Amino acid sequence: MAKLYVIGIGPGRRENMTLRAINALIKSEVIVGYTPYIEYLEELVEGKEIISTGMKGEIERCKLAIESVREGKNTSIVSTGDAGLYGMAGPILELAKDIEVEIVPGVTAAFSAAGELGSPIMHDFCSISLSDLLTPWSLIEKRIENAAAADFVITIYNPRSKGRKKHIEKAVEIMLKYKSPSTPVGIVKNSGRDGQEQIITTLGNIDYKKIDMLCVLIIGNSMTYIENDHMITPRGYDL
């Protein structure tokens, strides 16, 4: 029986993919994904049938992948990072009622960026996307408010696009009600990929012009500090 693999390919480079993800891609006859994600796979797609679509084609890709499995072909649908975080795992499981599905986890941008910044996620944290395409902005604001009030380390996905230039500024404004302006903030662009850039700054000194949709932000908690160009959030051990 054919199987649908829902794969998180990590940040993009092959060395950041799990062995399980690579093996699933090798087993697949068909690879489905957003066009730039397919390009990250390089030689792993050689000899495969490729189905790719552009931005906002997520549900179309899911339906095409499911149909491919129904035709008897082992198929992979790929997401960057982890397929279960802002990826394709949820829609696939909602749509696929009669086929075998295997979810293959991957390294999400928050963990990739954290490794590049130091150890900012060593304690309780949450991830919040600032994209309001599928979630009302009022609800996003509420989540930011509650996370900041609870002193979580906060990772921000989809922070700033051409159509949403002010969302990140509003998010920071909310966080500053509960977090000090000196709270460390890491901004990583192209985490785990070519062209990687990173900045360590503070909540009160963010240069918003340096932020785009290729960035992930990690905002520390009240204990996070900067040392030797690393963000460090103590776990609480007696050192």
**Residues 93-109: tens digit of each pLDDT:** 999 989 999 999 999 99
How is the chain split into domains, by residue range?
3-107, 110-232
**Predicted confidence band of residue 51 (pLDDT cuts 50, 70, 90):** very high
**Predicted confidence band of residue 55 (pLDDT cuts 50, 70, 90):** confident
Residues 14-32, mean pLDDT to the nearest whole number: 96
User: Could you report the per-residue pLDDT of 171-180, keeping only the tens digit for each?
Assistant: 999 999 999 9
User: Could you report the per-residue pLDDT of 195-217, keeping only the tens digit for each?
Assistant: 999 999 999 999 999 999 999 99
Rg of the chain's alpha carbons, rounded to an integer?
19
Q: What is the CATH number of domain 110-232?
A: 3.30.950.10
Which CATH architecture fits 3-107? Answer: 3-Layer(aba) Sandwich (3.40)
Does the pLDDT value for residue 13 go beyond 90? Answer: no
Does the pLDDT value for residue 162 go beyond 90? Answer: no
Average per-residue pLDDT for the chain:
96
Sequence-separated (6 or more) residues with CB below 8 Å from residue 67: none
Other CB atoms within a 10 A radius of the CB of residue 19 amount to 7
| SS3 annotation, 137-178 | HHHHHHHHHHHHHCCCEEEEECCCCCCCCCHHHHHHHHHCCC
